[in-house]
Each structure stands twice: as C-alpha cells, then as structure tokens.
A and B are shown apart, each in its own frame.
Chain A
Amino acid sequence: MRKGTGTGKGLKRLSCLLGGLVVIGMFIPLLVVFVISFNPGNELIFPPHGFSLRWYSNIFHHASFLSSFHFSIILGVVATAVSLIVGLSGALVLTRRKFRGADIISGLLMSPLVVPQVVIGIGFLSLFSMMHVYHSIPSLLALHIIITLPYTLRVLVANLSRCPVSMEEAAMVLGAGKYRAFVETTLRMIKPGMVASAIFAFVTSFDNFTASQFLIWDRATLPIEIYAYITKENDPTVAAVSSVLILMTVGLVILMERWVGLETVTG
C-alpha cells in the first residue's frame, strides 16, 4: 500500500518535471527573441549589452514591414470570414443531415491538417499557374480559406453537436420563422464557438509561412517579409517584429479566454 503510494508520488513528480521542461522549452525561444529585440547594437546577440527601442522604431522605417503587416491583416480577416461561413454551412450539414459519404467529406475538409504544407503550397502553385493567375491576393486568399477551414469546421461541429434540433423546432412552434429560429437559438448557443474558431482561423492565416511562400508574386505576407529580411540583414528588427506578433497573439488568446473560455475550442 505504502509502496504503491510512493510509486504514485514518484510518477507525479516525474510528470511535473517533464511538463515543466516542455513549458520551458516552449517559452525560452520566445523569451530570447523578446529580450534580443531590446539590443542596442545591430547584432542578434543574447544577452543584449544594454536596452534600446531603436529596432522597434526601425520597423516603421521599413515600408515593406508595414505594408505586409497590413496585407496579412486584411488577408486574415477576409479568409476568416469566408472560412466561418463555409465552416458553419459545412458543420450544419455534417451534424444535421445523415447521408452516405459524410465521413469522407468531413475527412477531406480536415485533410489540410495532415497534408504537409509544402505539398499544399506546391499544389496551389501548379493550379494557379495552370489557370494563369499570377497574383498573390486571390491565390493566397484561396489557400488561407482552405487551411483555416479545418479549424472552423472542427470547432463548429463540436459546438453544433451539442445543440439539439428540437430547440429550433420549439422556437418555430412558438412563432419564429425558420431563419429566425436558427438565429435565436442555435446561433446564439454556438456564438462562443464562432468567436473561438474565428480567432483560431485568423491566427492560422496570419502565421502561415510554408504554404504561403509558394504563392508570393506581387505581395508578401508578414512572415515571409520577416524571412526575406533576415536573409539580407542581421539586425534585431525581426526580433522586434516577432515580439509585436507574440504580444498580439497573447492578446488574442486572453480575449478568447475572457469572452468564451478555452474549453469551447476543444469541444
């Protein structure tokens, strides 16, 4: 008995240790980037020899950072909006209608999660070349809708499967039209899921590098601009940009937690 408890305690300690190591492993690079961004010199050195905000102000002297940031935001917002609408329709069909092949369709829609990003990128590149579309905006938009869809779909399916159809029917018997009944009951109930999947989709789009780099013709997204910069320059501007992005992401996660609670995401 006592021996058993001892083993249990040992296991618990070990798992705490491993968990701690993982957390440290995840956060150290972020912390390093964050600290480096305050370097006064023009080298990526850790630890920095002093404190300066000059690389933050340097961001604003590079028009390419600002314009690609702007582009990434617009791209993310539009891709998220479309992905939400498509994801909601898809999730409604998958949860409310029983039809043959539902599993296959659901699997196909989720496939961008498992297909390597490089493959997706090359696929899109060949497709758009075939169609003679050599513009970043339409091709990146299409790509980002596809790669964000698994997130919106997954979260919304989980949310919708907890909303019985009888609730909409009850609203209809009480005098609501079909559309009104949906808005008043189901849509209200999945609102947290909508917010959560929107944030997920936006972050996925905003961060995407691997697949997006194949479709850069006339405009670049921010991650690609950062990469291009670091291949030419070696100053901490990229660290400053990255720190801004980290803060932004943290802000979004905090917002999500505040509004909807993280558990709605995992379903």
Chain B
Amino acid sequence: MKMKNGRAKRVLLENVSVRYGSVSALNNISLDIQPGELVSLLGPSGCGKTTLLRSIAGFAPLTTGEIFIGEEACTDLPPSKRNLGMVFQDYALFPHMTVARNVAFGLKMRRVPLEERHPAVERVLALLSLDGLEERYPRQLSGGQQQRVALARALVVEPGVLLLDEPLAALDKKLREEMQIELRSLQKRIGITTIFVTHDQEEALTLSDRVAVLEKGRIVQVGTPVEVYENPQSKFSGLFVGKSNFIEGKVISCTEGATVCDVSGIGRVTVKSTAGVGTQAQFLLRPEKVRLSREKPLTLERNCVYGKVEHLVYLGMITEYHLETEQGFQLVATVLNVNQSTQNFEIGESIWATWSPDDFIQVFPMGPNG
C-alpha cells in the first residue's frame, strides 16, 4: 500500500485568517508542509489548532488567505473535493454500518466499482491489523480498534493529505503511547503528508517531523522537535513544551551577535541575542540542564548558584528538586536516577546548582519578532 511518491501532497497555507464576527480564531497563518512530512499543530485548547485543521479540510471558511493542496488552490473547494483523509476526535464512525462498509464508504462515494472495493478494503484492514473484524459494528469494537477503523476509512481512498484531530486523546495512556509509535511508522511507510492536532506536547515531540506551536490563533514557532524543545523562541513555547525555569536579567552591553546580560546574583552571562542595552530580558533554563552538587564546583565556565532544597518530587526515573536560591529566585532541577546510589539531597539541605551559559536561552513574550 506504499503510495507512489507523486501522491503525497504539499500543503501550503498563505496568510490564513479566520474570523467569527469580531473574534479572530486564526491570525495570518503561513505554513509550508512538505510532501510526506508529519507536522503537529500544538497548543492549548482555544489556540486555534482545530480551526486550522478544519479550514484545511474545508469546514472553516477563510476570511483571508489561500490554501494550496499540491498545486491546487482549494480555498473555495468543498470538503468533498479536496481528496483528504481525516480522523476525528470522536472517530465519527457510522454506527449503522459494519467495519467493512465504513471503510468502503469513501470508495463508494468515488464510484469505485464494487469488485475493486473489496480488495482495497481488505488491504487496508490488513495494514491496520483489523482483518477478521469486517462484519462487526463500531459499537462492538474497543476504543483502539475504533481508532484503527477510522484510520483505515481515511486511508483507503489514498488521500493526498491525512488530517488527524487529536485521534489518540480518547485512548488510555499505555494504548496511546503504543498507537503513537504505530501511527508514526505507518505514516512513514505510506509516506503520506500528515497534519496532526494535539494539545499533548510529548505526543507532538514523539510523532512529528516538525511542530508548529500555536498561541491565540497565531503560530509562535515552527521547528523540529529538537529545535522547539532546545531553542524555544517565545516564552509560550518554552512554557508549553516541556518544563522550564524562567529567570529575569538586564542587558548591560551588546556587541555583534553576543549580548552580555546581568542576571541578578548570577553575574554576567553571554547569550546570543540582539536585545537593546538597558532592556529587561527573560531567560529559559531546562531543569535537566542543571547539575547539582554538595561541593562548590571549581569550573568557571559554568553559571553557579547556591540554594536550599525546598521541596522534592520523586518520579521514578527522575527526581525533581525545587531550590530557593540565595539570589531569591526559584530553580527547578531534575536528576536522572541512574542507580540507587545516585546522590540524594534532602529537603532543607543547601547545595550548588550549575549550568552551561549555552543552555541559558533568551525568550521573548511573543517570539523573536513579536
């Protein structure tokens, strides 16, 4: 069922805006999705990610902008003419049809002859390990099976683009994690362009080639999972993807490409930024980049603070330490519990925390251009 390379379509969004009356649901969104790519739309509820997916499907008319699927401008095409596959959050299986008839529905609408429908349905059911369930009704299936049937129904018509609206949200955690891996390998095998809506940052990082982070109807960052996690460009992406410490500082000098900031108590930090002298800057530090020790570290290359353990959270694989630093800010650091003798710090103990200045990332309230 490997698709011919020509089948996977590029999706191009140009300055897409959707407004309902005076409410702006999507604000000037541009995004270029390559053929065969899996892009996640990530954000909290109400950020516009579902509206964006629905506008690609043709259910949310654009106020301004253009949508191209492949070479075709389809801004004004109805959903039925866009040749898409879509999996809905509630799967939207037809309860009055068997699995086989659900899956064959798209073929029937495309007037595929009856004798060709059956083998196509069989193939896609086998691909999703659903063989043997042809004559069941949706209500007789488990959540995971229903999810696969929805996927099979979307894929059987060999769509140019697959749209997934939080398809795993209704599954329990273990099944969801299994399905994430399965979905990703299936998507790679078929090579279909896929747009995946999720509010689960871990899911977005696991599945995607690229992640688009949305906030209030805007895309605040697009990048690979590594880029988005390691180099969040806005406070929002840092806050929404992974856990972060945010620390304030003041820019005291600025040379080309390097800015020296004075961060209260930590001292002078060199970061890549172009912020003006005298402005307040905000920095992000991932908890796992922080190293903890009882002895004062001798290295000068690392930033160093001294603080008291206020609180600790044991999470099995890692332990999270919440420090109140001498400088008066909160710092969260995680330690991987490599073995049982991994040093344990006690609540109330004062310890040293260090990190590399490279991990100190300047973030902006609304992205670098905001």
Chains A and B are bound partners:
yes
- State the A residues within 8 Å of B (CB): 164, 166-167, 169-178, 180-181, 184-185, 188-189
A-B contacts, 13 of them at CB < 8 A, read A164-B92, A166-B88, A166-B89, A169-B86, A173-B79, A173-B82, A173-B154, A173-B163, A174-B105, A174-B106, A175-B109, A177-B78, A178-B78
Whole-angstrom distance between the alpha carbons of A180 and B84 in the complex? 17
B80–A177 touching, CB < 8 Å: yes
| A176 → chain B closest CB, angstroms | 5
Chain A residues contacting B59 (CB-CB under 8 Å) are 169
A169–B90 touching, CB < 8 Å: no
4 interchain residue pairs of minimum CB distance? A175-B109, A174-B106, A170-B92, A166-B92
B153–A174 touching, CB < 8 Å: yes
A167–B109 touching, CB < 8 Å: no
| The residue from B85, B88, B105, B153 contacting A169, defined by CB atoms under 8 A apart | B88
Whole-angstrom distance between the alpha carbons of A184 and B109 in the complex? 10
Chain B residues contacting A172 (CB-CB under 8 Å) are 58, 78-80
**With A171-B94, A176-B80, A189-B96 already in contact, 10 other A-B pairs whose C-beta atoms are closer than 8 Å:** A164-B90, A166-B92, A170-B153, A173-B79, A173-B80, A173-B85, A174-B106, A176-B109, A188-B94, A189-B95
Whole-angstrom distance between the alpha carbons of A164 and B93 in the complex? 10
List residues 106-120 of chain B with CB under 8 A from any CB of chain A. Answer: 106, 109-110
Whole-angstrom distance between the alpha carbons of A173 and B90 in the complex? 15
Q: Flag B38-82 by CB within 8 Å of A: 1 or 0 each.
A: 000000000000000000011100000000000000000011101
| The residue from A167, A177, A180 contacting B92, defined by CB atoms under 8 A apart | A167
B157–A175 touching, CB < 8 Å: yes
Chain A residues contacting B154 (CB-CB under 8 Å) are 173-174
Chain A residue nearest to B81 in the complex (CB): A175
Whole-angstrom distance between the alpha carbons of A180 and B154 in the complex? 18
Task: Give the residue among A164, A172, A188 with the most B Cβ atoms within 10 A.
Answer: A172
Chain A residues contacting B89 (CB-CB under 8 Å) are 166
Given the interface pairs A166-B90, A169-B88, the reply to whether A174 lies near B157 with Cβ below 8 Å is yes
A180–B90 touching, CB < 8 Å: no
A167–B94 touching, CB < 8 Å: yes
Chain A residue nearest to B150 in the complex (CB): A170
Chain B residue nearest to A173 in the complex (CB): B86
Q: Chain B: interface residue count, which band? A: 20 to 34
Whole-angstrom distance between the alpha carbons of A174 and B86 in the complex? 8
| The residue from A175, A180, A188, A189 contacting B110, defined by CB atoms under 8 A apart | A175
| The residue from B95, B96, B109, B163 contacting A174, defined by CB atoms under 8 A apart | B109
| A15 → chain B closest CB, angstroms | 34
Chain B residues contacting A189 (CB-CB under 8 Å) are 95-96
A170–B80 touching, CB < 8 Å: no
Q: Flag B194-234 by CB within 8 Å of A: 1 or 0 each.
A: 00000000000000000000000000000000000000000
Chain B residue nearest to A169 in the complex (CB): B59
Chain B residue nearest to A174 in the complex (CB): B106
A170–B88 touching, CB < 8 Å: yes
Whole-angstrom distance between the alpha carbons of A17 and B195 in the complex? 63
| B295 → chain A closest CB, angstroms | 60
Whole-angstrom distance between the alpha carbons of A166 and B84 in the complex? 15
| The residue from B78, B86, B96 contacting A170, defined by CB atoms under 8 A apart | B86
Chain B residues contacting A180 (CB-CB under 8 Å) are 109
Task: Give the residue among B59, B90, B92, B154 with the most A Cβ atoms within 10 A.
Answer: B92
Chain A residue nearest to B105 in the complex (CB): A174
Chain A residues contacting B95 (CB-CB under 8 Å) are 189
A171–B105 touching, CB < 8 Å: yes
Whole-angstrom distance between the alpha carbons of A205 and B88 in the complex? 42
Chain B residues contacting A171 (CB-CB under 8 Å) are 94, 105, 109
Chain A residues contacting B96 (CB-CB under 8 Å) are 188-189
List residues 151-171 of chain B with CB under 8 A from any CB of chain A. Answer: 153-154, 157, 163
Chain A residues contacting B79 (CB-CB under 8 Å) are 169, 172-173
Chain A residues contacting B88 (CB-CB under 8 Å) are 166, 169-170
| B160 → chain A closest CB, angstroms | 12
Chain B residues contacting A170 (CB-CB under 8 Å) are 86, 88, 92-94, 153
Chain B residue nearest to A177 in the complex (CB): B80
| B86 → chain A closest CB, angstroms | 4
| A160 → chain B closest CB, angstroms | 14
Chain A residues contacting B90 (CB-CB under 8 Å) are 164, 166
| B341 → chain A closest CB, angstroms | 54
| B319 → chain A closest CB, angstroms | 43
Chain A residues contacting B105 (CB-CB under 8 Å) are 171, 174, 184
Chain B residues contacting A166 (CB-CB under 8 Å) are 88-90, 92
Chain B residues contacting A164 (CB-CB under 8 Å) are 90, 92
Task: Give the residue among A169, A175, A181, A188 with the most B Cβ atoms within 10 A.
Answer: A175
Whole-angstrom distance between the alpha carbons of A4 and B342 in the complex? 61
Task: Give the residue among A166, A173, A178, A189 with the most B Cβ atoms within 10 A.
Answer: A173
Chain A residues contacting B82 (CB-CB under 8 Å) are 173
Chain B residues contacting A176 (CB-CB under 8 Å) are 80, 109
Whole-angstrom distance between the alpha carbons of A176 and B94 in the complex? 14
A173–B57 touching, CB < 8 Å: yes
